[in-house]
Amino acid sequence: MEELTTQEAAVLAIIRDNPFAGQQEIATALGLARSTVAAHIVQLMQKGHILGRGYVMPTPTRAVCIGGAVLDRKYHARSALVRGTSNPAESGRSLGGVARNVAENLARLGTATNFVSIVGEDEGGRTLLSHMRDQGIDVSQVLTSAERSTAEYVAVLEPDGELAFGIADMGIFDLFRPEHLDRIWPHLASASWVFSDCNPPAETLAALIEKRRDARFRLAIDAVSTAKAMRLPRDLSGIDLLFMNIDEANAILQREGREPLKDAKEAALALQAAGAREAIVTMGAKGIAVAGLEGARTFPAVRAKPVDMTGAGDAMIAGTLHRVISGDDTYAAARTGTLLGALTTESAASVHTELSERLLEANIHRLAD
Ligand SMILES: Nc1ncnc2c1ncn2[C@@H]1O[C@H](COP(=O)(O)OP(=O)(O)OP(=O)(O)O)[C@@H](O)[C@H]1O
Ligand SMILES: [Mg+2]
């Protein structure tokens, strides 16, 4: 193939990254006139780098995950931490964010997955995106911000593993404005399920719930934390499937003046009464409650030999969505969710590194134990 000029190569790189990019979008990104971009595209076709422009059809069953992409750092002190001085520690880095973890679980299970988030123009952002791309996740609709750095969570642990400090820089998610949902609308409109965590601002979550009313996709939401759960509107209608742990459920029910509930089933029914079509409330090893279209049912957790709880909640969500997308009812799907949650507690990583549809199948008997 013929050599490309620098500008042609730049245009090709953008198209390769996002085959949906319009000529004006490419022109703006490169600081060129639209007509110049059009001429480069003609050249790229003549030189054999582009076959043509077509109508792009969505994959029939596809999930979109919206929300947090976070760089997690862990510092494990060698001896008791002392303030105001340097403390020797062992460090480790991993990738997190509820929506990111859910997306990775879904992709590993074989569901076509598109991830929507915002990262900084920094090494962390590039690491997150390239890792997700390697998992086959479509990250073409992730925004990059020059204003803020990629979200980061730092855990400083005492020698015995107890958390001394948790430090969170999540400010970049404030830049996830409702307008971004308009920009990526074709990707949402063509999805079978859209999942969002509560990392985006309240206005963006409200806009997503509002947009769902006239759309074909169904909408699932996870609270992330008691503080972030408060970003959800009081009226939960428009949410098809709401995931919360018992503390998060109580946090949002309390703002309606309700006494805290100890029972997951009552909490799930209360979320349903507040407007959610279906709700799943989790209680760690104590199991889950599903308020579905045929009433509320509880299911025990799958017996596990846990080594690290990180990511269990996210895996539970992904296992459920994966099965719902495949046509299971919510009760049956949530049981697969509990299996994936349990498997994830048995892995040191926040997303099980050996995860596949086959691993899930090989462990399905544990649902009967
Ligand atoms: N010790 C355990 N044994 C078996 N399964 C577990 C255990 N802990 C968690 N799980 C599974 O993971 C699911 C989610 O856990 P949990 O209720 O702790 O959610 P969460 O508080 O949102 O967790 P996260 O902090 O990971 O978001 C549970 O519903 C259960 O299926
Ligand atoms: Mg959770």
Predicted confidence (pLDDT) per residue in 109-146, tens digit: 999 999 999 999 999 999 999 999 999 999 999 999 99
pLDDT of residue 20: 80
Is residue 177 located within the same domain as residue 323? yes
What's the domain range around 18? 6-55
> Do 45 and 66 have their domain in common?
no
Q: Which of 45-59, 187-201, 246-260, 281-295 has the lowest mean pLDDT?
A: 45-59
Residue where a domain stops, chosen among 55, 73, 91: 55
Q: What is the mean pLDDT of residues 31-54?
A: 90
Q: Are residues 21 and 156 in the same domain?
A: no
- The per-residue pLDDT for 56 is 67
- CA dist 188 and 196 (Å) reads 11
189 lies in some domain: yes
pLDDT surpassing 80 at residue 54: no
Predicted confidence at residue 329, as pLDDT, reads: 97
Task: Indicate which ligand has the atom closest to the C-alpha of 319.
Answer: 1
Whole-prediction pTM value? 0.86
Is residue 57 over pLDDT 80? no
Mapped to the 3 state alphabet, what secondary structure does the chain carry?
CCCCCHHHHHHHHHHHHCCCCCHHHHHHHHCCCHHHHHHHHHHHHHCCCCCCCCCCCCCCCEEEEECCCEEEEEEEECCCCCCCCCCCEEEEEEEECHHHHHHHHHHHHCCEEEEECEEECCHHHHHHHHHHHHCCCECCCCEEECCCCCCEEEEEECCCCCEEEEEEECHHHHHCCHHHHHHCHHHHHCCCEEEEECCCCHHHHHHHHHHHCCCCCEEEEECCCHHHHCCCCCCCCCCCEEEEEHHHHHHHHHCCCCCCCCCHHHHHHHHHHCCCCEEEEECHHHCEEEEECCEEEEECCCCCCCCCCCCHHHHHHHHHHHHHHCCCCHHHHHHHHHHHHHHHHCCCCCCCCCCCHHHHHHCHHHHCC
Ligand 1 atom 9, closest CA: 284
Residues 29 and 129 in one domain: no
Q: Atom of ligand 1 at shortest distance to CA of 222?
A: 22
- Predicted local confidence at residue 58, as pLDDT: 64
- Quote the pLDDT of residue 90: 97
Question: Ligand 1 pocket, 242 CB below 6 A?
Answer: no
Residue whose Cα lies nearest atom 12 of ligand 1: it is 341
- Whether residue 208 sits in one domain with residue 163: yes
- pLDDT tens-digit profile of 216-264? 999 999 999 999 999 999 999 999 999 999 999 999 999 888 889 999 9
pLDDT at 257: 85
In the reported structure, the alpha carbon of residue 225 is separated from the centroid of ligand 2 by a whole-number distance in angstroms of: 7
| Mean pLDDT for all residues in the chain | 95
Inside any domain, residue 260: no
Q: Is the pLDDT of residue 101 over 70?
A: yes
CB of residue 101 inside a 6 A radius of ligand 1: no
Clarify whether residues 217 and 314 are in a common domain: yes
pLDDT in tens, 268-297: 999 999 999 999 999 999 999 999 999 999
Q: Are residues 43 and 163 in the same domain?
A: no
pLDDT score for 1: 60
* CB-ligand 1 contact for 178 (6 Å cutoff): no
Q: Are residues 21 and 80 in the same domain?
A: no
Number of domains in the chain: 2
52: confidence class by pLDDT, cuts 50, 70, 90 = confident
Tens digits of residue pLDDT in 141-171: 999 999 999 999 999 999 999 999 999 999 9
Question: Quick check: is 26 in a domain?
Answer: yes
* Cα(345) to centroid(ligand 2), Å: 13
Contact (Cβ atoms closer than 8 angstroms) between residue 310 and residue 177 = no
For the cut 80, the answer to whether the pLDDT of residue 2 exceeds it is: no
Q: So what's the pLDDT on residue 18?
A: 84
Same domain, yes or no: 331 and 208: yes
Mean pLDDT confidence for 163-180: 96
268 lines ligand 1 (CB under 6 A): no
CATH code for position 163: 3.40.1190.20
Ligand 1 binding pocket includes 292 (Cβ within 6 Å) = no
Same domain, 104 and 47: no
Residue 279 lies in a domain: no
- For residue 280, being part of any structural domain is answered with no
* Dist CA 166 CA 155 (whole Å): 5
CA-proximal residue: ligand 1, atom 27 (nearest): 313
- Substitution site in 70, 247, 336, 338 for ligand 1 pocket (most atoms within 8 Å of beta carbon): 338
Percent of the chain with pLDDT over 90: 90
List residues, by chain if needed, whose CB lies under 5 Å from ion ligand 2: 313
Q: Is the CB of 334 under 6 A from ligand 1?
A: no
CATH number at residue 15: 1.10.10
Cβ 366 vs Cβ 339: under 8 Å: yes
Q: Are residues 87 and 187 in the same domain?
A: yes
Residue 166 in domain:
yes
Whether residues 49 and 116 fall in one domain: no
Six token digits for residue 286: 């104590």
pLDDT at 70: 98
Give residue-wise pLDDT tens across range 330-363. Answer: 999 999 999 999 999 999 999 999 999 999 999 9
What pLDDT shows up at residue 366? 97
207 pLDDT more than 70: yes
Q: Last residue of some domain: 39, 55, 71?
A: 55
Whether 288 lines ligand 1, by a CB cut-off of 6 Å, is: yes
